């Protein structure tokens, strides 16, 4: 029996039904997703200020719910404490341990498929934003849930010790070569949906930044000096060179 989660709370958290078996939950500038199959459901990320994503899932589906994290930045793991275990790429281990969030990591790798029952979800490893960042391809529905590396009208964080700009470019190249497999991109921040064509635009902009062909604007983020590069449709926040 589904939990009758408080309706006022639902409205506050902007739980939006995408289709019969898919929901997105907006959480103050970041979003996460609930996907239902015929056998179980999967939360993709667990929020930032929200710490009860499992309860939200129980209010929407009777199916047992598991959790997968696109990466371990704090705005994606807010409800991880509700789960004894979660799927995450092994490359994210250091970032996850730094978060202080417990639980058991079940490693996933590039090309792995999580089948939640007549709904195959393929893991795509996208290092760069973090070492273990992943996207999830909803194969049958031709939707890419991209995490942070692809955004429109967002701010992509590419500064700090655990970012790798060169790997980020390689990941964009990889995604650009796969865009015939999906018709829409659902990012964790910014606009939704986004056209797959944005990936090539991001790649072009990132390559120009790497080659010092684009001027940035110096900004301060929590006392750290960074460079902001406005691509016209999104902003890349990078380390100062």
Going along the chain from its start, the domains and CATH numbers come out as 7-212 (3.60.15.10)
Q: Which two tokens stand for residue 165?
A: 């700009």
| Calpha distance 201→206 (Å, rounded) | 9
Q: Which helix (H) or strand (E) holds 30?
A: strand 30-36
Q: Please give the model's pTM, rounded to 2 decimal places.
A: 0.93
Q: Check pLDDT > 60 for residue 8.
A: no
- Residues 151-203: tens digit of each pLDDT: 999 999 999 988 999 999 999 999 999 999 999 999 999 999 999 999 999 99
How large is the average pLDDT for residues 1-13?
46
- Residues 12-52: tens digit of each pLDDT: 459 999 999 999 999 989 999 999 999 999 999 999 999 99
Q: Check pLDDT > 80 for residue 66.
A: yes
Residues of the chain with pLDDT > 70, as a percent, come to 95
How large is the average pLDDT for residues 2-19?
63
Among the listed residues 101, 95, 99, the one whose alpha carbon sits nearest the alpha carbon of residue 128: 95
Q: Which two tokens stand for residue 179?
A: 């865009």
Give pLDDT, residue 161: 84
Backbone conformation region of residue 46, classed left if phi is above 0, alpha if psi is from -120 to 50, else beta: alpha
């Amino acid at each position: 029996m589904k939990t009758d989660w408080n309706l006022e709370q639902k409205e506050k958290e902007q739980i939006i039904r995408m289709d019969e078996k898919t929901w997105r939950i907006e959480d103050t500038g970041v979003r996460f997703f609930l996907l239902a199959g015929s056998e179980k459901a999967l939360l993709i990320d667990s929020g930032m200020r929200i710490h009860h994503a499992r309860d939200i899932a129980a209010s929407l589906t009777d199916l047992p719910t598991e959790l997968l994290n696109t990466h371990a930045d704090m705005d994606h793991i807010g409800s991880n404490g509700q789960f004894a275990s979660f799927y995450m790429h092994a490359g994210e281990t250091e970032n996850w341990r730094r978060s202080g969030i417990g639980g058991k990591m079940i490693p996933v790798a590039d090309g792995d498929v999580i089948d939640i029952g007549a709904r195959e979800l393929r893991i795509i490893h996208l290092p760069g934003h973090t070492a273990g960042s992943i996207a999830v391809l909803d194969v049958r529905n031709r939707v890419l849930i991209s995490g942070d590396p692809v955004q429109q009208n967002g701010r992509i964080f590419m500064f700090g010790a655990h970012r790798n700009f060169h790997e980020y470019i390689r990941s964009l190249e990889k995604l650009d070569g796969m865009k015939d497999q999906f018709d829409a991109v659902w990012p964790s921040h910014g606009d939704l949906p986004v056209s797959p064509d944005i990936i090539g635009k991001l790649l072009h902009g990132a390559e120009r930044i790497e080659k010092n062909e684009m001027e940035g604007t110096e900004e301060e983020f929590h006392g750290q000096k960074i460079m902001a590069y406005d691509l016209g449709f999104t902003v890349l926040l990078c380390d100062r060179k």
